[in-house]
Structure 1
Amino acid sequence: MKKLFASLALLASPLLALAATPNLVVNGSFEDNLLANGQWKNFSSLNGWTSVGAGIELRNNIAGSAFDGLNYVELDTTKNSSMFQTIATTAGQSYNFSFAYANRPGTPVSTNGLDWTVDGGTTWTALAALPAATGNHNWTPFSTSFVAGSSTRIGFRATGSSDTLGSSLDKVSLTAAVPEPETYALMLAGLGALGFVARRRKRQQA
């Protein structure tokens, strides 16, 4: 009976663990630094994020509004720069990486541009170019999946004209990928079968 309960626990634990997939990114929506409404400021780093170059520009409802929460960032501060965060991951595990980006309102397409990386900058991937933004931010969500190593260094860099006006970034997320529905079905079927065996053994012992 103890072996049966142990088997049930082993099958149930993945379901419990995957019921919630927390965001592993620290300060993914850039809310840890307080700014007044309509304020912006350049930081050498933000909680969870390390800047390389000219720092990170944080904004609160100025030249657009946030996709999530109050704040968002721009990486063309006094010139183009980049930022990184290293996250502990499980080697061989699939992860989902997502964020939202937008062109700065009232600027030409050429001044905007943003690249991302999940290998610390060994490989950079350019985001699809967006049309010129004439009003508020036209945020575009982006997501991708990848297989991680024992740690993952995510990063972003500005790539448009280095003129203090660039693309915006918000709601960065890294989560462990959940199994396909077929995987859940198999696990549930296994739990059902073990439950049937447990009930049958209990009746036999009665």
Structure 2
Amino acid sequence: MNFKLLKVLITISLFSTTLPAMANLITNGSFEDTTVGNGQWAWFNSSGVNGWQGSNIEIWNNYSIFSAAEGNQLAELNAHPSNGEAFSIFQTFDTTAGITYDLSFSYAARSSNNEAFLLNLFAADNTDMLSQLIDDHEVKKWSQYNNSFKATSGSTTLRFTSVYPEFATVGNFLDDIKIIASTANKQLAAEVPEPSGLFLAGFGLLFMMRKKFKGKITQNK
């Protein structure tokens, strides 16, 4: 048996046994990937905005003396031009059933505190996991939404739909949209051995195998 090779394999295994990184599962949650000039705005088909699907998306970059909540750009849900239907943008992302995730985003009104939109989360089978009306906007003043949900499938869809105004092209700013694995998953993390314990277990296994191998050599002499 090649003990040097065994030692290398155990070491690689130990270093690779880590908890998943708590990265944002939403792609382009701050609408920075589609460049708009400073002090300007532009509207795009959703296919031209990385990560997002649905209606057109209007993106501002420090336009009309209003700064993004995060980064330089923000999105206006009620985008130009109107097609006579409610505006709706959505994104589907990978999840693990049974794991809790934290959802957060910033929102603001453009011209009226009466502006409102519907927030939805859907499981892979289109089961509505969360449906909430967000109607406490303030004009050009960011508010932050925070909530948690437990995934029930291998993918989940986040959707925003305009409620007021429903068809007009003015209203409902969004920015800094995040979904990350929740720190509430502490029990799951506790079940994974710490790196120090893994090293002890790995090298203990190596020692036992080496001792057993030496015993066989002694018996064969």
Class of the TM-score when normalised by the shorter of the 2 chains: 0.7 to 0.9
Distance 1:44 1:99 in 2: 25
Distance 2:179 2:107 in 1: 19
Per-residue CA deviations over 1:40-76 (Å, capped at 9, x if unaligned) read 1221211221124xx2111111252112111111211
Checking the alignment, whether the CA contact within 8 Å between 2:10 and 2:202 is kept in structure 1 is no
Equivalent in the alignment of 1:172 = 177
Q: Any idea what SS the aligned residue of 1:170 has?
A: strand
43, 50, 54: which one aligns with 1:51: 54
Per-residue CA deviations over 1:118-138 (Å, capped at 9, x if unaligned) read 4376525225432533xx432
TM-score by length of 1: 0.73
**Which runs of structure 2 are paired with 1:167-206 in the superposition (5 Å)?**
167-177=172-182, 179-180=185-186, 183-184=189-190, 187-188=193-194, 190-191=197-198, 194=201, 197-198=204-205, 201=208
Query: 1:194–1:47: structure 2 CA closer, same or farther, 3 Å change rule?
Result: same
**Which runs of structure 2 are paired with 1:104-115 in the superposition (5 Å)?**
104-105=109-110, 107-115=111-119
**Which runs of structure 2 are paired with 1:1-206 in the superposition (5 Å)?**
9=13, 13-15=16-18, 17-18=19-20, 20-45=21-46, 46-52=49-55, 55-63=56-64, 64-77=66-79, 78=82, 80-90=86-96, 92=97, 94-105=99-110, 107-119=111-123, 122-123=127-128, 125-133=131-139, 136-162=140-166, 163-177=168-182, 179-180=185-186, 183-184=189-190, 187-188=193-194, 190-191=197-198, 194=201, 197-198=204-205, 201=208
Instruction: Give 1:202 shift.
Output: 9.0
Q: Any idea what SS the aligned residue of 1:109 has?
A: coil
Query: 1:102–1:191: structure 2 CA closer, same or farther, 3 Å change rule?
Result: same
Root-mean-square deviation (Å): 3.6
Query: 1:24–1:186: structure 2 CA closer, same or farther, 3 Å change rule?
Result: closer
TM-score by length of 2: 0.68
Which blocks of at least 5 consecutive residues in structure 2 are unaligned? 215-221
Which blocks of at least 5 consecutive residues in structure 1 are unaligned? none
How many residue pairs align between the two structures? 196
Instruction: Give 1:164 shift.
Output: 2.6
- Counterpart of 1:32, as a letter, is D
Checking the alignment, whether the CA contact within 8 Å between 1:58 and 1:74 is kept in structure 2 is yes
Q: Any idea what SS the aligned residue of 1:31 has?
A: coil
Query: 1:104–1:62: structure 2 CA closer, same or farther, 3 Å change rule?
Result: farther
Checking the alignment, whether the CA contact within 8 Å between 1:56 and 1:74 is kept in structure 2 is yes
Question: Percent same amino acid among aligned pairs?
Answer: 27
Checking the alignment, whether the CA contact within 8 Å between 2:123 and 2:157 is kept in structure 1 is yes
